[in-house]
Amino acid sequence: MLYPLKFKPVYKDYLWGGRNLEKLGKTLPAGIVAESWEVSCHPDGESVISNGEFRGMPLSRFVDKLQYEVMGTGIGWKPGDRFPLLVKFIDANEKLSVQVHPDDEYASMHEKDMSGKTEMWYIISAKPGAKLVYGLLPGTTREMFKEALENGSVGKYLNYIEVSEGDVIHIPAGVVHAVGEGIMIAEVQQNSNNTYRVYDYDRIDKDGKKRPLHIQKALDVIDFSGIKSKRGKSKGTPVAALDGFTIARLVENDYFTVELHDIYGKVSEIADGSKFFIYLFIKGSGEIFYGNSDCENAGCQGDSHDGNIKVKAGESVLIPASMGKYTILGKIKAMKIYAGKGKY
């Protein structure tokens, strides 16, 4: 029987990280932790199942084994295709580099990792006055930006926005961006690690070297029209308010949909074979009941379910496409993530 999958986090020790993911309840390894890759089929950090019958199996092997039962028949995936999404937590204890990502067309022509990278951020926490870079100031041309990169004055062309808990930032490929210090975020992105750094504050890494920049590729892909960065930040759009939970749509694009589910009771759902779902838990705790019942009785006791798992902030689960009915019970806030466009 299919069940909600948990994974071992893949931790990254990039120089701008800290220890703030402990505030989400994570048990971190020693030293700096910048990112926790929660659900990933990328070779730079692949998820391994940590619970149930398939414990110890890499996610890619699980997908190869069960195919449409995991992925679903409604997202255009076929055997041999890559898993489309990568989901992570990020601790920007210090500011990240100024960077940009390519789209699918450019990546397919210039990178071994042939997918572009559109992404979104949900601000979990931010120190007072925290800012991030989102796009360039109006009127910035390729020539102006190139000259600024050469003489170290790039900062005068960057568009800064202040952020706080609950803000949503949609970042299409081509938009210059950077997370500022003191911000913890949840990130949903295409399954790609293609990043072009344009400025890194002349920092030195643990090997005593400056991290490489990718100026020419960045100039090739940056959206100097400003059209892609017009969305700015938002709080999402409320789409449902029912007994025990509310739903807001945070982002919807051609690659993924992200909803915010604020549960203060229970919500019953179904994985009907069309697509998989990822839940990224950001506050609270609860349980997921699954099997042949939608858990109509308030406590989900006795024979009303085939199984259950406990979940809490800082964790994530993948619901296979053909798992069937499931119910989330508790007081918990989660991002529900899936490939393609949503129903709302």
Residues marked active site are found at 197
Other CB atoms within 10 Å distance of the CB of residue 120: 23
How far is it, in rounded angstroms, from Cα 274 to Cα 255? 15
How far is it, in rounded angstroms, from Cα 227 to Cα 223? 7
- List residues bridging with 5 in a β-sheet: 318
User: Which among 207, 342, 336, 215 is positioned nearest to 279, based on CA atoms?
Assistant: 336
Whether 286 and 261 have beta carbons less than 8 Å apart is answered as no
Taking the alpha carbons at both ends of the chain, their separation in whole angstroms is 30
Whether 14 and 35 have beta carbons less than 8 Å apart is answered as yes
Residue 128 CA neighbour count, 13 Å, CB half = 0
How far is it, in rounded angstroms, from Cα 70 to Cα 135? 36
Whether 255 and 173 have beta carbons less than 8 Å apart is answered as no
Phi-psi group of 145: left, alpha or beta (phi > 0 → left; psi -120 to 50 → alpha; rest → beta): alpha
CA 326 to chain centre: 23
Q: Which two tokens stand for residue 326?
A: 């499931």
Q: Which two tokens stand for residue 274?
A: 């069309």
Whether 251 and 170 have beta carbons less than 8 Å apart is answered as yes
